[in-house]
Structure 1
Amino acid sequence: MSQLFKTIVAPVESLWRTGTSQIDDWFLKETHRFTITGLSRSGKSMLFTSLMTILKYRSEEKYNCLPLLKRLPVELVESMWLEPIKDFPLFPIEQHIAALESGNWPHPTEELYGFKLVIRLKQTNRFTKFVLPHKDVVFEFIDYPGEWITDLPMLSKSYAQWSDSAWAQQMSEPQNSFAEDWHEFVRHFDFDSEPTPQRITDVVTAYRGYLHNAKTNGISMIQPGSFLISGSGFDSQQSGFAPLPSKITSDVSHPWYQVFNKHYNHFANSWLAPLKASTFKETDKQIILIDLFEGLNHSKQHLYQLKETLSHLAETFVYGNPSWFEKNVLRKNEIGRVAFVATKADLVPQSQKANLLSLLRQVSEGATAKFKDKPVVFEHFLVSAIQATDPGTQPNSLRYTNAEGQYMQASFEDLPANLKDMAADEHFPVLPAQVPADYLPRMLNGRGLDRLFQFLLG
């Protein structure tokens, strides 16, 4: 038997040995596996909460809250339910709804969650209905801390390469102003001393201080972000590391290089590589959530730094568009559809949406350039997981509830349509909208989710 023939026949033989369950999945299930790539503070947890709530009301109450989602007609939805994904705890939807009920935004994700959202559709064709009484549309989601995403590019670098790139980033805007204490610590630290456990802890603690300061001030490219997440499971106290000056990393015999190189490899091989294999496998669609307001609130350089971050992240995923046979029989998994999503779009008036969309396209253009010559379909979306604001009395104004519970109106300057048009020190404050008392109808009337999922279902 030729090798080519074996390659084609072997998967089919394996299928028949497993029985008919796989065939049932082919004809009775339409499965969509998503990687939702959301950096820290991008609104991923709120998006999950809103999506699950919307689909529940759409299924059980027949509330047409996603009017443009033609692939899942309300009149054909028979039922909807959640199922766990093996080895993943369920997304804590109840806790998030309870937080909204008490007037608080849900806490950012600091642990790993997974779930399947199954929507059962009625068949309309008489013959199909007789043979296949229903069809299940399955959405598989995994929620994880955004800090993990920025760590993935470290897998393609040695410790010395990562250390040099980390120093280069810290020396440029806007990171350098947040790294002053860390740089001062390094200047006065005696790296000729033996790397004892206490001294290692001192260096790692000082570096973690920089990471925390940078994150607090809107920096998205912090590595390793896992050091800041208690739910990561990696012991940064026991096996932590930090970037070292090049005079040390260039000397492979240096004791400090040897210990941090060992810790870095342990982090990459024992923590990061298994995380990537288990969390980002078998995905065919990707949603990249982007909080443009974090950059707009700080500076033009923050937006350029976000653009660089997205460009690096696009190198860590496998993109393509496998055929039905390749995906279902040969188990070839590549991402064929990508949605770049600017979240919290309700925080600007309708008059500024075009400029916000323009900024989204510019910030993501480094990432989309990586799709060149690949059969990848991508689009850009403005999304509000919850409509927390109302139109104001003027075109450039919004009404919102502030921290004191007062219903206020704010006026906006025009957002820049191009990054190059922003002055170096220009910034746009973020509207501090709180959770409205009528959060449920506002979730059900979130904007952009229907177009987003219509695109992804393709």
Structure 2
Amino acid sequence: MSRFVNKFYKAFDTLVDTGAQSLENLFSRDVHHVIITGLSRSGKSMFFTTLMSLLSQRSQQTFDNLPLLRSLPKELIQSVELRPIEGEALFPLDRNLQKLQSRQWPESTEQIYGFELVLTTKPLNAISKLLRKSNQIIFRFHDYPGEWLTDLPMLHKEFVAWSDSAWSQQLNPPQKHYASDWHAFVESYDFDRLPNEELVGDYMQQYRNYLIAAKSKGITLLQPGSMLIPSPKFNWEKNGFAPLPSRIASDPEHPWTLLFQKNFEHFKKIWLAPLQESYFSKADKQIVMLDLHQGLSHSRAHLNQLKETLSNLASSFVYGADKWYKPKILFRHEISKVAFVATKIDLIPNSQHENFLHLLQDITSGIRAHLREKEVEFQHFLISAMQTTDPGSCENCLRFTNPDGDYEEWEFESIPDRLKALDPEQNYPAINTMVPKDVLARMNHAQGIDRLIEYLIK
């Protein structure tokens, strides 16, 4: 009974989202609304490209490149199709594959792509053939700039509270190492001058310069990230804002505070609230993608900040256990299953994967406490979208082709299995690889994607 009711709720949500459909589609379409929560450089675009390529090849080739995907055996898949979502740009799969074939990595996402990955399966027996011609398993995805993700917690703040928290973060490591020019500018700034277009523009540009510098050094908690990759729906030149020093922001009647408070509320109303409602509140499953290599290559403070970023994001999504008796409220989805995913594991030796998994679990401990309260299921995964390295001459060694085209070998120290095991000043240089010549073969050796999809389908 519970499975039937749960199936009905999912199907009814599909009708609400896409309009009236036939009764055949109502009970033959299995729709998974998956939100990929990935910060900048976490590998979302490469993951999408590999996933679609592997599933497409799997339906056409005789070999099984996703052997652990038991819920979708190779012989059951009839076709794989990429479909646009009405009103959204389609994910640029062909363009990404062409760039990979020319030995270039896909470009970072700077707009929203909405698409459905549709897997049509063959009927299992004669009875199912009579009832329906095919069964469709649909993954509904959205790809978006990771910089926008970190802005979502701003919805729950007023300008002064956000401004104070931004300053607090900049005064602590690791941000303080990159904010000195910005702080020097603010320290000598004359706030007695009334804000006008030129002065506000200059003030915002100085803050944006800090954001750009901090991002280049691996800082993840940057707000507003939308200032780095602006949306056409929000005019930063006309309605922009930036943190004010507390001596100014604490005066509610100060002209700069009044202006930035007004612009801050406009930002939430025009951009952030619609963004959350349109793309982040309709998921029933979530993949949280993390690039731990970036933090390891800098310092423990960077990884601690990544942990803080994840904890802050917990309030931006609607979580709840998937129970058959639990009615949908106003047809809103609740995320009932979460996958925490560390990407690019081909950049560390197999001997260190267990430590890497424990480190991932440590970094997600804050947000996992929130999920337990909501009775949400979660698991941790290690994946690579492409095997860009080869085993080296020792257990902790890897061989790879660097961006200059030279084939070299690195030997790794042991990866810490938790944050406290990492010395504050210790770091692990990240491998920077060239796109291999044998792209498709290397994608077929992607790791962990079959386990991840199996988890989402079940």
TM-score, normalising length: structure 2 = 0.94
Q: Secondary structure at the match of 1:207?
A: helix
Corresponding residue of 1:387: 387
Change (3 A) 1:321 1:24: farther
- 1:242 to partner: Cα distance: 0.5
CA drift of 1:233 comes to: 4.1
Specify the alignment match of 2:320 in structure 1. 320
Q: In the alignment, which residue of structure 1 is the partner of 2:264?
A: 264
TM alignment of 1:244-255, pairs within 5 A? 244-255=244-255
- Counterpart CA distance in 1 for 2:62 and 2:344 is 26
Q: Is the 8 A contact 1:62 1:75 kept in 2?
A: no
Shift of 1:374: 1.6
1:151-300 alignment runs, 5 A limit: 151-231=151-231, 233-300=233-300
- 1:46-445 equivalences in 2 (<5 Å): 46-231=46-231, 233-323=233-323, 331-445=331-445
Partner of 1:446: helix, strand, or coil?
coil
Once the two structures are TM-superposed, the CA of residue 284 in structure 1 deviates from its matched residue by 0.5
Matched AA of 1:222: L
- The number of residues matched between the two structures is 446
Q: Deviations over 1:165-189 (max 9, x none)?
A: 1011011111011110110000000
Asked if the contact 2:387–2:443 (Cα under 8 Å) also holds between the matched residues in 1, the reply is yes
Q: Amino acid of the residue matched to residue 294 of structure 1?
A: Q
Q: Distance in 1 between matches of 2:373 and 2:151?
A: 27
Superposed CA deviations along residues 302-334 of structure 1, whole A, max 9, x for unmatched, are 000000000001111000134457678973410
Amino acid at match of 1:196: N
Contact 1:58 1:64 in 2 (8 A): yes
Instruction: Read off the aligned partner of 2:135 and give its amino acid letter.
Output: K
Shift of 1:127: 1.6
Deviation of 1:432 after TM superposition, in Å, equals: 1.2
Shift of 1:421: 1.5
Give the percent of matched residue pairs that are identical in Structure 1 and Structure 2: 47
In 2, Cα distance between equivalents of 1:244 and 1:309: 22
SS at match of 1:119: strand
| Counterpart in the other structure of 1:6 | none
Amino acid at match of 1:209: N
Greater displacement, 399-408 / 386-395: 399-408
SS at match of 1:315: helix
Secondary structure in structure 2 of the residue aligned to 1:423: coil
Is the 8 Å Cα contact of residues 99 and 105 (structure 1) preserved in structure 2? yes
Q: Secondary structure at the match of 2:346?
A: helix
Distance in 1 between residues matched to 2:19 and 2:91, nearest whole Å:
32
Separation in structure 2 between the aligned mates of residue 276 and residue 186 of structure 1, nearest angstrom: 32
Q: Residue 372 of structure 1 aligns to a residue in which SS?
A: helix
1: CA distance between counterparts of 2:281 and 2:268? Answer: 17
SS for the counterpart of 1:314 is helix
CA contact (8 A) 1:96 1:106 kept: yes
The code of the aligned residue for 1:428 comes to Y
2:349 and 2:391 in contact (8 A); partners too: yes
2:352 is paired with a residue of what secondary structure?
Answer: helix
Aligned-CA RMSD value: 2.0
Q: Give the whole-Å Cα distance in 2 for the aligned partners of 1:96 and 1:62.
A: 25
What is the CA distance between 1:282 and its match in structure 2? 1.9
Write the distance in 2 (CA, Å) between the matches of 1:79 and 1:337. 26
Kindly indicate whether the alpha-carbon contact (under 8 Å) linking 2:281 and 2:332 is maintained by their aligned counterparts in 1: no
How far apart, in 1, do the equivalents of 2:110 and 2:245 lie? 31
Give yes or no for contact 1:389–1:400 (8 Å, CA) kept in 2. yes
**Residue in structure 2 matched with residue 7 of structure 1 by the alignment:** none
On the 8 A contact 1:110/1:232 being kept in 2, the answer is no
Structure 1 residue 277: deviation in Å?
1.0
Distance of aligned partners of 1:19 and 1:242 in 2 relative to their CA distance in 1, 3 Å threshold: closer
* Structure 2 residue matching 1:338: 3-state secondary structure: strand
Task: Pick closer, same or farther for the CA change 1:339–1:177 going to 2, 3 Å.
Answer: same
Q: How far apart are 1:63 and its partner, in Å?
A: 3.5
Question: Tell me, what secondary structure is at the counterpart of 2:359?
Answer: helix
State the 1:230 CA deviation: 4.3
Which stretch shifts more, 97-106 or 54-63? 54-63
User: Which SS does the other structure have where 2:304 is aligned?
Assistant: helix
1:41-64 Cα distance to aligned partner (Å, 9 max, x none): 101110011111111101122441
> How far apart, CA to CA, are the structure 1 residues paired with 2:62 and 2:272?
43
Task: Name the CA distance, whole Å, in 1 between partners of 2:445 and 2:271.
Answer: 40
Q: Paired residue for 1:4?
A: none
Does 2:428 correspond to 1:454?
no
CA contact (8 A) 1:227 1:234 kept: no
Residue 327 of structure 1 contacts residue 333 of structure 1 at CA under 8 Å; is this kept in 2?
no
Equivalent residue for 2:6? none
- The one-letter amino acid paired with 1:225 is G
Instruction: Give 1:213 shift.
Output: 0.8
- The 8 Å contact of residues 341 and 383 in structure 1, kept in 2 or not, is answered as yes
CA distance in 1, matches of 2:23, 2:131: 14
Do the aligned residues in 2 keep the contact of 1:175 with 1:214 (CA within 8 Å)?
Answer: yes
- Equivalents in 1 of 2:19, 2:264: separation in Å? 45
For 1:201 and 1:404, locate their aligned partners in 2 and report how far apart those are by CA, in whole Å: 40
CA distance in 1, matches of 2:297, 2:164: 29
Q: Name the residue aligned to 2:3.
A: none
